[in-house]
Amino acid sequence: MDANTRFDLTGKVIVVTGGNGLLGSAYCQALAEHGAHVVVADLPGAHPQQAAKELSQRTGRPALGLSCDVAVEADVVALFEQALKEFGRVDGVMNNAAATGEHLMRQGAVFSPFEDYPLAVWEAVLRVNLTGVFLVAREGGKALLKSGGGSMVNVSSTYGVVGPDHRIYEGMKFASFPGYSASKAGVHGLTRWLATYWGDKGIRVNTLVPGGVENQHDPEFVKRYAQRTPLRRMARREDMVGMVVYLMSDAAAYATGQQYFVDGGWTAV
């Protein structure tokens, strides 16, 4: 099998949660361009059905858009039931949905000092970022088992591996917050557990670890982040897609239980 064939995703059915977000939409585009049938799953307000329709028009590949809140068990169960009903199989799961600072800014308390941190906000973040990942992994794993195996990629963050440099947030309207780091660290533990649990069932489970992705941030923050990073810039969303295609493809057939960093060298400092 030549290298190009190993990266070919033709005919593979891949479910992407958070599929119409900043990174999720880039993942969906790249996967479809490499031949996959993509299930775009996201909150109703993110319009996943429209996103799937447009993805199919751009790439010529069948795509399905489904509404799903990963924090709601019934939604996640229905997501994989509908994916199997539509395509007959699931070959990949991109466990990408997350509650980030941008999503939670309307809840001003998300950036509270830790000494006064509200329990309700902490629990709301973990409900999406860790319990949601668990639910998608559980139901996605069932679908992969029915299909004879496949690849699962859980998305974490550098802040699930190393502590943030709080200095770069000084004077900003946003900051790193504890529930995000704690939940993303939990994703790594779950990935390793699942990799060893499903290893003999033909299911590979890995973690993608993105660095900070520029998204209309304050220019001063972008400057500070870049100065802290060996490649001297924040990530662009397209920087992540090569790793995603690799992990979903047969090129990664012997890769499981690992953390794949795409962070410009942030964690090397």
CB < 8 Å & 24+ apart, contacts of 55-61: 55/28, 55/29, 56/32, 58/29, 58/32, 59/29, 59/32, 59/33, 61/32, 61/35, 61/36, 61/37
Annotation says 169 is catalytic: no
Q: Which two tokens stand for residue 110?
A: 């998300």
Which of 27, 159, 180, 225 does the annotation list as catalytic? Answer: 180
Task: Give CA–CA dist 163/169, Å, rounded.
Answer: 13
Cβ neighbors of 79 (< 8 A, separation 6 or more) are 15, 17, 39, 41, 66, 68, 136, 139
Residues with catalytic roles: 180
